[in-house]
Structure 1
Amino acid sequence: MARILLINPNRYTEPPVPPLGLEYLAAALEGASHYCRLLDLTFAADTDADVRAAVDDCGPDLAGITVRNIDSAICHNNLFFLDEIAAVVELLDSLGVPVVAGGAGFSFAPEEIIQYLGARWGVDGPAEGVLPGLLDSLDNGDPPGAGSVLDGWSDPGWLAGDSSPARSSEGVDYERYLGEGAVGGFRTQTGCRGACPFCAEAGRKVVFRQPRAVVRELEAMAEGGVRKFHLCDSEFNQDLDYCHSLLAEMERARLGFDWALYMRTAPFDRELFRGLADTGASLVTLTYPSGAPDEPARAARAISLAKEYGVRVAVDYLCGFPGQTPDEVGRELDTLRRAEPDTVGVSNCIRLYSGTGVARKVMSDPRWRTGLLGEVDGNPGLLKPVFYCGIPLEELKGLVGSDPLFKIEGFERSSNYQRFSS
């Protein structure tokens, strides 16, 4: 039996976010008969002291550290997180504890991030299927070579079981999180079938959890006092049949809590919105990348159905792609005005991630480089934040005008669910 210390280094608290991924991972490791301790540094007064104390207490063979985000992904007032995480890795190394890095943000640029952090190993994708094997290899004295990045997508089957993933929340102070404005999280699937050219998660294999396993988890969390949730899937409505099955299971359980979620503008149907309303979904954030010909009509129809069933809608509208004109953006904003969602967050700066379609287009064509903001040269993997702004801020302000429906993003650190709760 190997001993592992899982560390959440995320200190961003606007809003604070419980380390859901580590809770799932801890349960998977414990289920594989390894000793696991979860150290959450979100509210730590002295992170170094807490890390040292945890290492002294549990004597880990390995530390796993999560990279939830590389940075705050907003152009204005951007916060870069990797330096703070690298400091924790360096401390662990000085204490003789090898580190494996992973998490959603890590998978955006695994080779570059493992080098930046100085971690021994990394996991690209979900770790629950492959990390027990890494611990076994440590036990057997035959670990992979330093710098290896394990493919978490090679064994994501644990997700589809009726009892997995369970969830181990020991070490996570939910009372503190909820008191600081957080909500609970849960996941029904991993991966994304989308092909959005700006997104580093696009095209990932999708694995769905068993609906009954999701509901059992939610029942346990609700019994523990969590009454508000935000779904942590990339986008909920990737498969309508699955959505209908899950919502039916949630309806039967009569969970009686409030939840929010992200959705794409397609696919959807009336039954989806009815199910959302009947299970307590109070807010849908609709992802709306501008420029697709069918996007305005789909968004308007989705907003109409949501309103019919009493579900509030926030639209995340991303514009300013290479070649997009202010007139095109103006027409889409007019469509949203007519559809009358509850609010529209407008972003004109696109965070570039290495390997995405928009990053390749911008970086390979001198015509678009004038719209770049950030550290472009000497920045492998675009780890340091680089943005493309095809619509200047002042021009965007002119398109939005004084209409209170629209909020230009990047100047306030808050989420949609916080804005609706205030």
Structure 2
Amino acid sequence: MSVSARPAAAGPRFRALLVHANPFQRVTPVPAYGLERLRTAAESTGAEVEILDPYLVAEDAIAAARAAAERLQPHVVGLGIRIIDDCIVVDHPAANGHGPIDVSFLLPEIRELRRALGEVVPEATFVAGGAGFSACPQECLEYLGVEWGVVGAGEDAFAAICAGRPLKQIPGLLRRGDEQGIGAYHLGFGGPTKRDPLYAPANSFPVRTRIGCAMQCAYCTAANLMRRHANTDIGVVLDEIAQTVEWTKARGVGRVPIFFADDEFNLPDEKHSIAVLRGIVERGLADSVTWRAYFNPTPFSDELAQLVRETNGLVSITVDSAAEKVLAAAQKPFRRRHLDELV
């Protein structure tokens, strides 16, 4: 199904299997928030969409994926690739900055998952996406043997796939061999996300208030976005928080833990974050949530600090160094004085 992923109009209901292709779930489990957003976006199409998190729910992830594909017989298989490797510097005093690096390359395992799924449903169209994929999309498509991918937000593209639009006509879809790579990154938003019951016991529930990144740090793949970013509508953010609180409390959770899944919650300025937190207070949600987010050391006004306190927030300051030379070389959007003022 290379031209259109949809069966004939008189055929069966369109079916899609969204697979959280994240072996790191064995180490640090997280909700498949991106896949939840895709499924929510496709609701209006009438498609049957299932989420599978094989590395979370099964000892044998490959067997679990095979079984799910055999049962559902999907027309489209989406591979959500959140992480492509973990890179951990092994420190010891004698290394002087040149110590060994422990890298676990995860794509070989993901390729085996893709191969197994392809054996079960050889006629299905495979589409890759996710944060890790979006950092090097063409390289991932080539390595995995996948024809199509979505760089950045995939809600609109996935809904169009489920609605039966020809793949070549869908904005936001990238094809293997195209000239575009991360330059095809799509900034887009849907409505409030409907959660999967699988993640009810999660230690936090992601909520995205913006997409992209306002920074251009020298060492980060997000620098390739050239500071492209956009804010989600405040009403949509607050609706999602309110729905998550209602949904989670119905499952026995007391105060609901939220993680604002933004690169930096207070960049490019703090107006958006202040509006989100003020909205939490005005909607009477402050006593029902705790939350955390990544912050740049600046801007951080007294007003923002007070709202963090009122809404039970936990601030994670993303500081790589306090040395001026290192901060300048890394193109960080703060300096030592900002860190001193904040502390």
Give the TM-score of the pair, scaled to structure 1: 0.63
Match of 1:168 among 184, 191, 194: 194
Offset, 1:138:
6.2
Distance 1:148 1:31 in 2: 32
Separation in structure 2 between the aligned mates of residue 145 and residue 186 of structure 1, nearest angstrom:
26
Residue segments in structure 2 that go unaligned for 5+ positions in a row: 1-12, 91-101, 329-333
Distance 1:90 1:152, change over 3 A: farther
C-alpha separation between the residues in 1 aligned to 2:63 and 2:272?
45
**Residue 84 in structure 1 maps to residue 109 in structure 2:** yes
Question: Is the CA contact 1:266–1:298 (under 8 Å) kept in the aligned structure 2?
Answer: yes
TM-superposition CA deviations, 1:266-302 (whole Å, max 9, x none): 2222211111111110232333455236511111222
Shift of 1:152: 9.3
Could you tell me whether the CA contact under 8 Å between 1:130 and 1:152 is conserved in 2? no
Work out the CA distance in 1 between the residues paired with 2:28 and 2:115: 27
Show the counterpart of 1:254: 284
| 2:305 equivalent in structure 1 | 273
CA separation of 1:139 and 1:292: change in aligned 2, threshold 3 A: closer
Distance 1:26 1:63, change over 3 A: same
2:160 maps to 1:128: no
Pair 1:201-2:228 in alignment? no
For 1:73 and 1:211, the matched residues in 2 are separated by 35
Amino acid at match of 1:5: L
Instruction: Give percent identity, aligned residues only.
Output: 27
Any idea what SS the aligned residue of 2:266 has?
coil
Could you tell me which residue of structure 1 aligns to residue 5 of structure 2?
none
Gaps of 5+ in 1: 304-422
Q: State the match for 1:45 in structure 2.
A: 59
What is the identity, as a one-letter code, of the residue corresponding to 1:251?
A: V
Using a 3 Å threshold, how does the CA distance of structure 1 residues 230 and 154 change in structure 2: closer, same or farther? closer
Aligned equivalent of 2:23: 11
1:322 is matched with none
Number of residue pairs the alignment of both structures matches = 293
Picking from 226, 230, 233, the partner of 2:262 is 233
CA shift digits 1:28-52 (9 cap, x unpaired): 1223443311111223222223222
RMSD across aligned C-alpha pairs, in angstroms? 2.7
1:247-326 matches, within 5 Å, as: 247-255=277-285, 256=287, 257-289=289-321, 291-292=326-327, 295-303=335-343
User: Runs of 4+ in structure 1 displaced over 4 angstroms?
Assistant: 135-146, 148-155
Residues 89 and 228 of structure 1: CA distance in aligned 2, closer, same or farther (over 3 Å) = same
TM-score, normalised to structure 2, is 0.77
Deviates more, 1:85-94 or 1:292-301: 292-301
Shift of 1:88: 1.1
Alpha-carbon separation, structure 1, partners of 2:108 and 2:219: 24
